[in-house]
Structure 1
Amino acid sequence: MTDPTDNNVKVPDGYRKGPVLLRRGQVPVTTTDQNLLARGAPADWVHTDPWRVMRIQSEFVEGFGALAEVGPAVSVFGSARTQRHDPDYHLGREVGRRLVEAGFAVMTGGGPGVMEAANRGASEAGGLSIGLGIELPFEQGMNAWVDLGINFRYFFARKTMFVKYAQGFIVLPGGFGTFDELFESITLVQTQKVTEFPIVLVGSEYWSGLLAWLRGPVLDKGTVSERDLDLIQVVDDPADAVLAVQRDALTRAADEAAAASDPS
């Protein structure tokens, strides 16, 4: 067999498919144009991974375009199962109202429950109420209090929007989806992927068991540090939750102003 690394042997350029180089048995027998223009061709190509990449790209483009100019915003999370008569619903509504009064837009997952409550509070207060929905097997739909809504296929694209365009997270009682957003936000701050990002839990009674576990066996095991746990603030009053986000925003603005005026 000829050694392709031999300097006297010319390695064929192969077949280029965009940035991908194919050689030998990987070279396709038809071209992309042929597949595109063929009549009666199967439609399964729209479900292949390269096409999914385009869908993912489009979600980022649409999300960035829709949210780039919303101004200061705060992401509010909580259970989709919370009923309108539940105290947590009234808590979410109050958080949404107070955020708007403090000059923030409100972003939620756009669904029912606590999400609807926060969107409702924001809309009733005359502020910008944003919903970032997600395609699910059980359709939730966008709640009626969303003024600007975007629906995503992919969780990771949606999560990026929650972090990129928010100045903090306020987390009300919720389930697995809420826990997922909470721990991802903690991880992003802990690893300094995002900085100066307040994370506020509302409802000390609800969160006390989780925090006791974190400060007990988890901390004792050394898998987290005391500094990591200090990233989480716990309050019961919606006013305190909003104040925590406001305080962080003011500190950040002061730091940026100081850095801009520093001649060095």
Structure 2
Amino acid sequence: MLDAKMPEAWRVLRIQSELVDGIERLIKLSGAVTVFGSARFSEDSREYKQGVRLGELLAAEGIPVITGGGPGLMEACNRGAYPQPGSSIGLNIELPFEQEANPYQDISLHFRYFFVRKFMFVKHAVGFVGLPGGYGTLDELFEALTLVQTHKVRQFPIVLVGKRYWSGLHDWLVDTALEHSCIDASDLELFRIVDSVDEAAEIIIKFIRERE
């Protein structure tokens, strides 16, 4: 939410302070995996349990796990990563609903501006995992795909978990976006859809180990 009563110049300083604080707090972080997913899944859901396992699998290998820091699947991944060797990091955002920082974080940052937060999601990441989610998850997914497609960042694995959930999006990209030449066939190779978090973790871990 923008500060309606704040002069423009002061708003720029607030944006700058968020960037400086985020960079300083995460300066020693490298080789992290950013995980996206809905805030709306409950603790007893299958998706939440998958999120916990994904966090465990990645952080057990010493890989830092970054989430949006909120409830639902973000909490699940932080929860799985929290007791493991890899750091559990949450990049929380101020929202009028849904978003409260979960307690399973070694590092917890708070942002007012989405674009600053998205910069932090990408800056230290060498892999993205998308769990089922809504507009926010889709926004973050296509941000990552756009950055890789346009070579603004080095190509890294972007893995979506849940063929049943994501297959409709894939079909639309093929039948509509590709059909109308809005994307190239090679753009469909920028991400993979898998059925389990074990498969996702295996892809990410293999990529990280091969680049060491």
TM-score range normalised by the length of the shorter chain: over 0.9
2:111 & 2:77 partners in 1: Cα distance?
20
In the alignment, structure 1 residue 168 sits paired with structure 2 residue 138: no
- Check conservation: 1:63, 1:150, Cα contact below 8 A: yes
**Which residue type is aligned with residue 18 of structure 2?**
E
Deviations 1:119-178, CA, capped at 9 Å, x for gaps: 000013343110000111226221011121000010000000000011110010000000
Q: Decide which of 162, 178, 182 is 1:223's aligned counterpart.
A: 182
Evaluate the alpha carbon distance shift between residue 120 and residue 48 of structure 1 in structure 2; reply closer, same or farther with a 3 A threshold. Answer: same
In the alignment, structure 1 residue 207 sits paired with structure 2 residue 207: no
Give percent identity, aligned residues only.
51
Partner of 2:53: 94
- Check conservation: 2:39, 2:98, Cα contact below 8 A: no
1:111 & 1:238 partners in 2: Cα distance?
20
2:44 & 2:134 partners in 1: Cα distance?
18
Question: Structure 1 segments of 4 or more deviating over 4 A?
Answer: none
In the alignment, structure 1 residue 193 sits paired with structure 2 residue 156: no
- Check conservation: 2:62, 2:84, Cα contact below 8 A: no
Partner of 1:154: 113
Q: Decide which of 247, 260, 264 is 2:206's aligned counterpart.
A: 247
TM-score using structure 2 length: 0.94
Unaligned runs of 5+ in 1: 1-43, 254-264
In the alignment, structure 1 residue 128 sits paired with structure 2 residue 87: yes
- Check conservation: 2:49, 2:76, Cα contact below 8 A: yes
1:79 & 1:46 partners in 2: Cα distance?
32
1:140 & 1:195 partners in 2: Cα distance?
30
TM-score using structure 1 length: 0.76
Q: RCO greater where, 1 or 2, for CA within 8 Å and sep 6 or more?
A: 2
- Check conservation: 1:108, 1:130, Cα contact below 8 A: yes
2:103 & 2:37 partners in 1: Cα distance?
17
Deviation at 1:72, TM superposition (A): 2.1
Partner of 2:66: 107
In the alignment, structure 1 residue 145 sits paired with structure 2 residue 104: yes
Partner of 2:28: 69
Deviation at 1:234, TM superposition (A): 1.0
Deviation at 1:248, TM superposition (A): 2.2
Evaluate the alpha carbon distance shift between residue 222 and residue 45 of structure 1 in structure 2; reply closer, same or farther with a 3 A threshold. Answer: closer
**Which residue type is aligned with residue 30 of structure 2?**
G
Evaluate the alpha carbon distance shift between residue 240 and residue 96 of structure 1 in structure 2; reply closer, same or farther with a 3 A threshold. Answer: same
Unaligned runs of 5+ in 2: none
**Which residue type is aligned with residue 109 of structure 1?**
G
More moved, 92-101 vs 68-77: 68-77
- Check conservation: 2:31, 2:208, Cα contact below 8 A: no
The SS at the match of 1:178 is helix
1:45 & 1:251 partners in 2: Cα distance?
48
- Check conservation: 1:77, 1:170, Cα contact below 8 A: yes
